[in-house]
Each structure stands twice: as C-alpha cells, then as structure tokens.
Amino acid sequence: MAAKGKDPQAPSPLDPQAQSESTAALLRELVAHLRQNRTQLREEWARRITRAQLLTAMTEEEIFAEATSVYDNYVEALETGTFEALQAYARNLSERIIPRGVETHEVVGIVLLLRDVLARSLFGKYHEDFDKLNRILDAYEPAANRVANTVAVGFVQERERIIRQQQEAIRELSTPVLQVRERLLILPIIGVIDPQRARQLTEQLLRAIRTNRAKVVVIDITGVAAMDSNVANHLVQTVEASRLLGATVIVTGLSPEIAQTLVTIGVDLSEMATVGDLQGGIEEAERLLGYKVVPLEEPVPKP
C-alpha cells in the first residue's frame, strides 16, 4: 500500500509542512477506503438514521437517495478540502426538506451519525495498528467536524432566510392602503401593532396620501385585538402626520374593550375623529368630500 510505504518517513511534529503533507496522504488513504466501502457504509448509515427515528417525514427510499448524495459530497469535501460544493448542496437539500417539516436537530443528527459510522469503520480497519489509527483520526476528525458544521450552518441559514422572507411577506400583506373613492383611502389594520409595524404603517400611509392626493383617510382597527398606550400614541402620531399632509383621518372600529382601556389609561384622543364602524366612517368621509350617495329610483310599476 502506498500509504504504508510512506510510514517510515513519518515527519516529526515540529515540521508543519511535512506534517500537513502527511495529513494529506492520510486523507487520501481515508478517501480511498470510504470509496471502496461506499455501498456498505451508506446502507449502515441509512439503517442508523431509520433506527434513530430521524427524518420521519421522508420515506426510506428518499432517505437512501439523500444519504447517497450526502455521502458522496461528504467524501468529496474530505478529499478536496473545499466546502463550496457541499455548502451549495446543503442549501439545496435544506430548501427541499424544510417545507416538509424537517427539524434542525434531525439534520445535525444525521450528519453526526455519518461521522460516527465512518469513524467506526476506521476503527474496524485499523484496530491492529493503534498508532496509525490515531494519525488517521487526527486527519479525519477536523475535516469531518468542518463538514458537519457546514451542513448544519447551511441548514440553519436557509431556515432563517425562509423565516425572514415570510415575515416580509406577512408585513407587506398586512398593511394594504386602499382607495375606495377619488381622494378617499382606507387602511384596515389587522393583528398586533408593534413599534416597527406602526412605523412602517405610517410611512406607507403618508406615501399613499401623497400619491393618491387623498383628502380623507379612514383607519379601521376592528381587527386590532388589544391596544396599550404605546399603540395608541402611534395612532395619534399617524393622525397628526396625515394632517400635516393635509388629510383628515377618521378612526373606526374601536371595540368596547379598547375604548375602555383607552379611557382608563388616559390617552388623549380628543384630536382624533372616531366613528363606530367602517360603514359609518366611510359615510362620514363621503360627507367631508361632498359626496352624496342616493339609491337608484325604484322602477315605477306601470299601471
């Protein structure tokens, strides 16, 4: 064996370059071993994944197919020492399995299992030469840890990216500014208002006032479950800022509970025009704009 031939010239630990060369040689030998036993090790790994009840969201065939890809990528990363391909694969894998409900602990679990399976096979191969086993493990462990790290980090990053994307989508969905008539906007607010959302809401409304040249805005808060003094103050600020742009704001849909809370905590809403429900608010706005809505005349029945 080629590696055995190199053994006698094993470098002293004081020579870093020679040592790294020997690490490279050991890794080469290791990779050759992993390639040789590919089928058997993959099967062992897939078995252990199933036994540990990881990846329960996937079928056995799928697990085996993914295990094969991960295995090959793993070996390749060990061989070349570059992690880009593995990183790309981990991202791609995460993208596929996250929607199916695969958890972080499962991904970390399977990568660690692979590491154990491979280490066990190394023990089996080199159990007679303890010194060599040690050196092989010295070469294997840092690389294997880096691989595990890469995959886990890739998964978590992908997950965070998806979460951020969804948050953004929810944010945008949740603040529609709608024009119901020439110069009349409505802004239905649904859900929890935190400072960040309040700020975004106000900015969006102010921009909409300018682009639509709105004169009256109806803010409907029927969908806001609870309100504290912070939220109330945000609301007052929104009303004030809209007025600076020349628009009148009517707030509608204050529930009895919210009305009670606001009075109890003593928020000054005297500057704010409030109307019971959205319909009343729109009617009031139409009056302010000089609209008059009349029903079509009943067709007179012919005698």
Partner 1 sequence: MEVPILKQGLYLIASIQSALTDADLSALREALIERVGKYRARGVIVDVTALDVMDSFAVRTLRDIAHMARLRGAETVIVGIQPEVAFAMVQLGLTLKGVSTALDLEEGLAYLDRQGQERLERVRGRVTRG
CA–chain centroid gap for 289, Å, is: 45
- Amino acid letter for position 256: P
DSSP conformation letters of 89-153 = HHHHHHHHHGGGT--HHHHHHHHHHHHHHHHHHHHHHHTT-HHHHHHHHHHHHHHHHHHHHHHHH
Rounded CA separation 245/211 (Å): 11
Nearest residue (CB) to partner 1, 218 versus 278: 218
Residue type for position 203 = E
Is 98 an interacting residue with respect to partner 1 (CB under 8 A)?
no
- Judge contact between 95 and 158, C-beta under 8 A: yes
> Per CB under 8 A, does 162 bind partner 1?
no
**Residue 141 vs 203, nearer CB to partner 1:** 203
Number of residues that bind partner 1 (CB under 8 A): 19
What part of residues 119-158 is at the interface with partner 1 (CB under 8 A)?
A: none
Please choose, from the candidates 163, 158, 61, 54, the residue with its C-alpha nearest in 3D space to the C-alpha of residue 108. Answer: 54
Q: Which is nearer to partner 1, 113 or 235 (CB)?
A: 235
Residue 246 binds to partner 1 (criterion: CB under 8 A):
yes
**Min CB(182)–partner 1 separation in Å:** 14
Q: Kindly tell me which of 238 and 274 has the beta carbon lying closer to partner 1.
A: 238
Give the residue with the Cβ less far from partner 1, 94 or 242.
Answer: 242
Say what the alpha-carbon torsion angle 72, 75, 77, 79 is, to the nearest 10 degrees. -130
Q: Which of residues 186-245 bind partner 1 (CB under 8 A)?
A: 199, 202-203, 206-207, 209-210, 213, 215, 237-238, 240-245
Query: Which residues contribute to the site for partner 1 (CB under 8 A)?
Result: 199, 202-203, 206-207, 209-210, 213, 215, 237-238, 240-247
